[in-house]
Structure 1
């Protein structure tokens, strides 16, 4: 996963945790605007989320943050 995407995911996770608490869940769509203006990037995250790690639709933000920080 490209570094800019890792940074964006960590930032979004931090914001969600700060506003909604440590128990907040996210889907991979949380990292994108409602308008799909970057399908390549969306597919990169979807592949990481669904194919690589076989995650459920909603996953705790802290878990996603930990995975990304660990380089998974």
Structure 2
């Protein structure tokens, strides 16, 4: 995973946790705008989420942040 994607994921998770608490769930689409303006980055996130970690569609933001940080 690229450093840029790691930083983006952590930033989004922190924002969601601050807004809605530690139980907030997210999907990998949370890291992107509704418009698919960066398909390569989207595929990188999808591969990490689905193939590498076999995560459900929605996961706790805190769990995703921890996975990215370690």
Q: CA RMSD in A?
A: 0.3
Residue in structure 2 matched with residue 65 of structure 1 by the alignment = 65
CA separation in 2, counterparts of 1:50 and 1:69? 18
Residue in structure 2 matched with residue 2 of structure 1 by the alignment = 2
Mark the runs of 5 or more structure 2 residues left unpaired by the alignment: none
CA separation in 2, counterparts of 1:39 and 1:7? 18
Aligned residues: 70
Residue in structure 2 matched with residue 20 of structure 1 by the alignment = 20
- Shift in Å at residue 24 of structure 1? 0.1
- Shift in Å at residue 67 of structure 1? 0.2
CA separation in 2, counterparts of 1:27 and 1:18? 17
Q: Could you tell me the TM-score, scaled by structure 1's length?
A: 0.96
Q: Could you tell me the TM-score, scaled by structure 2's length?
A: 0.99
Runs of 4+ in 1 over 2 A off after TM superposition: none
